[in-house]
Amino acid sequence: MRESEQLFLDLIREVGPDFTTNPEKARIRLLAAAEQAHAQGDVLSEFKLLDELAWQATTKFEAEEAMDCIHRVLALAEQTGDANHIGAACNTYGVFFMNCGEPLQAIEQLGKSLAAYESSGNTPRIASVLVNLGELLVEMDDIGKAAPYLEEACKLTERTERPDVLLNLAFVRVHQGRLPEAWSCIVRVWREGRHAEGWPLRANVHDVAGWVLQQTGNLPAALRHYRKSLSLFMKQHDPFRISSTYLSMGDVWLKNGNRDKAVECYRESAEISGVRGYRFVEIRSLRKLLLLVSGPVESLAVQQRLSYTLHEADQRNKALRRNFVELQIRLDRLRRERQELVRDYERDALTGLYAYRNMEERLNQHASACARFAFLFLDVDQLKTLNDTWGHSAGDMLLRSFANDLSDALPRYGQAIRKSGDEFIVLLPHAGRAEAIEYLQDLYGKLGIQRRIGEEAISLSCSAGIALWPTDTEQTNLLEWLADQAMYRAKSNGRNQYCWNQPFLQS
């Protein structure tokens, strides 16, 4: 790892607590570091810094900043082509849509994240995405589909030491009516996770325990746990969880018959979520408040605020959909550009055949995948004379025509490569002497067909040398030299023919 990259990673760890106590300071520091990484061309560090910013903005429901960071993170992930980077970016985007109340887009992005992580075998991240999918399906009241995701995440958790997933499984168990198992999940999380350094376990456990007790009708015990979680969330300066807990406490007080306490909790939830921009929590609080407030003046005020909040949320969702469409267009363009870059790197510009750059890798792949293969080294006969006579543009046309004949004669999985100028290589997997001769006879037949340059009709020919792996040598790096020597003997013998590698050259 480069020194600059380590410094950026250390910075991410350092500012982590600041997102709770001083989020603006943490945001400014990470943004400045991301710009510095961009200026240095350090794509990996820029990605990690912006991914952290995107995640923090997403979890704190800061929509505009989250969308801006996610756009940049997705673009960087496409640029690197790394499956883990793509998985992280799509996961953040999926959680963003979860928070915005767009479940279909969330499922789409989380599905992409899961596929990316599965392709890289990143088990801890797979568990995280499964948890997010399970959470989303729980919110959509689709418990039947949520359970398999969370149970699979639970199995992976046992191997990756992620006990927090059991909290989500507890929700599912309550919905399924399996209350003892729900409590078992909570107790296990408490026992296994209380020693986890830096994990806000107590607040989360009390919050989930309050919810479980609320569903089972034990309202006094539910209130006790909610009060404990509220106190801990306040110490952590977590306004979203504070507003959500007030909302839950209001539901408990209302079910307990205490309208005044319920109104008080709903008001607190609406005020905190309204200031912080947590629109869906604010809307839920205002709707419940509207049913409970007494007096026409207060009722009208709540109604007006709810109407304004709903309108604002609708406008924001429309803007998010527009941004989503724009982002998809940008990503499609980036994918096409990346594919073009890969193609330009792998392919020869003039002929469209494979380029010579990664020849060693190709030979190693053939050696590992095939019991045998043939290496053919070909040289177009008299190309210099043709260039001198008809010009280089005509020579280029003939090279393209020769490349087409090479490709047309190829068997399945064969590869044609342009080395340079008039030199070409053909790899024939699973081929021996008979298959190599069959290919060359087919090729010579195609080359013999006349083609026109201006008013003249000419035919092409080539000299070829053949080396066989592992018959001639077990060292793939010697194949080209052996075939090249054989090709020069073919030229010396009069061109337009092929020669085999001579056994004595193996030494």
pLDDT score for 148 = 82
Residue 304 falls inside a structural domain:
no
- Please, what is the Cα angle at 118 between 83 and 321, to 5 degrees? 65
Q: Cα(first)–Cα(last) distance of the chain, in Å?
A: 43
Residue 347 falls inside a structural domain:
no
Following DSSP, what letter does each residue of 290-322 receive, concatenated?
HHH--SHHHHHHHHHHHHHHHHHHHHHHHHHHH
Other CB atoms within a 10 A radius of the CB of residue 347 amount to 15
Residue 496 falls inside a structural domain:
yes
Q: Are residues 79 and 99 in the same domain?
A: yes
Residue 192 falls inside a structural domain:
no
Q: Are residues 101 and 158 in the same domain?
A: no
Residues facing 199 on adjacent strands: none
Residue 331 falls inside a structural domain:
no
Q: Are residues 129 and 102 in the same domain?
A: no
Following DSSP, what letter does each residue of 366-415 receive, concatenated?
HHHH-S-EEEEEEEETTHHHHHHHH-HHHHHHHHHHHHHHHHHH--TT-E
Residue 309 falls inside a structural domain:
no
Q: Are residues 107 and 134 in the same domain?
A: no
Tokens for 477, please give them. Answer: 């790096």
Q: Are residues 398 and 453 in the same domain?
A: yes
Other CB atoms within a 10 A radius of the CB of residue 301 amount to 13
Residue 24 falls inside a structural domain:
yes
Under 8 Å between Cβ of 378 and 462: yes
Q: Are residues 53 and 132 in the same domain?
A: no
**Token match 């079910």: residue?**
255
In the three-class reduction of DSSP (H, G, I as helix; E, B as strand; rest coil), residue 420 is classed as strand
pLDDT score for 272 = 87
pLDDT score for 194 = 52
pLDDT score for 328 = 66
Tell me the average confidence (pLDDT) per consecutive run of 10 residues in the chain, 507 residues long. 53 56 70 79 80 74 71 81 85 81 81 87 81 77 76 67 65 72 77 52 79 84 90 82 89 90 91 79 85 78 80 71 67 70 78 87 86 93 83 86 90 88 92 91 88 81 92 90 92 89 54
Residue at 108: amino acid letter: E
- Domain tally, the chain: 4
Tokens for 454, please give them. Answer: 């201006």
Cis peptide before 296, with omega less than 30 degrees from 0? no
- Phi and psi based region of residue 161 (left: phi greater than 0; alpha: psi -120 to 50; beta: remaining): left
pLDDT score for 317 = 66
**Distance (Å, whole) CA 3 – CA 280:** 43
Q: Are residues 377 and 488 in the same domain?
A: yes
Q: Are residues 101 and 226 in the same domain?
A: no
pLDDT score for 158 = 60
Q: Are residues 10 and 55 in the same domain?
A: yes
Long-range contacts formed by 65-74: CB under 8 A, 24+ apart: 65/27, 66/96, 67/96, 67/320, 67/323, 70/96, 70/327, 71/323, 71/327, 71/330, 73/47, 74/327, 74/331
Under 8 Å between Cβ of 463 and 490: yes
Total number of residues shown for the chain: 507
Instruction: For helices 296-346 and 279-292, give the axis angle rounded to 10 degrees.
Output: 160
pLDDT score for 142 = 74
Q: Are residues 260 and 376 in the same domain?
A: no
In the three-class reduction of DSSP (H, G, I as helix; E, B as strand; rest coil), residue 479 is classed as helix
Residues facing 10 on adjacent strands: none
Residue 321 falls inside a structural domain:
no
pLDDT score for 507 = 35
In the three-class reduction of DSSP (H, G, I as helix; E, B as strand; rest coil), residue 426 is classed as strand
Q: Are residues 361 and 451 in the same domain?
A: yes
pLDDT score for 165 = 67
Q: Are residues 126 and 109 in the same domain?
A: no
Q: Domain range spanning residue 467?
A: 354-506
**Boundary of a domain, candidates 272, 294, 316:** 294
How far is the CA of 496 from the CAs of 312, 442, 445, 481, in angstroms?
A: 77, 13, 11, 20
